[in-house]
Amino acid sequence: MRLQPPDTAPERIGFLLLPRFAMVAFFSAIEPLRIANRIGGQTLFEWRTNASGKRCREASALTLRNRLPGSP
């Protein structure tokens, strides 16, 4: 992945979440992207999952509800 000049579109990344996925692995993947956005002061990275708008249960039985930007 690369950091981009301010006038380019964000790097888009997709994550495939399977039933009983490891939440720690997922968070470990998105946390550096979130921090880069914060430090960069702009949206350098965007991410989505295959569970867009749905619920996906992870290994410890927690349920992740993926909300798209602008949704409640």
* Domain map (residue ranges) of the chain: 11-65
Predicted local distance difference test score (pLDDT) of residue 70? 45
pLDDT in tens, 3-54: 656 667 899 998 888 888 888 898 999 999 999 999 989 899 999 887 655 6
Q: For residues 54 and 12, what is the distance between their CA atoms, to the nearest angstrom?
A: 20
Angle at 30 between CA 28 and CA 56, to 5 degrees: 90
Assign 36 to helix, strand or coil.
helix
What is the distance between the terminal CA atoms of the chain, rounded to a whole angstrom? 30
Note the pTM of the prediction, 2 decimals: 0.67
CB 36 within 8 A of CB 44: yes
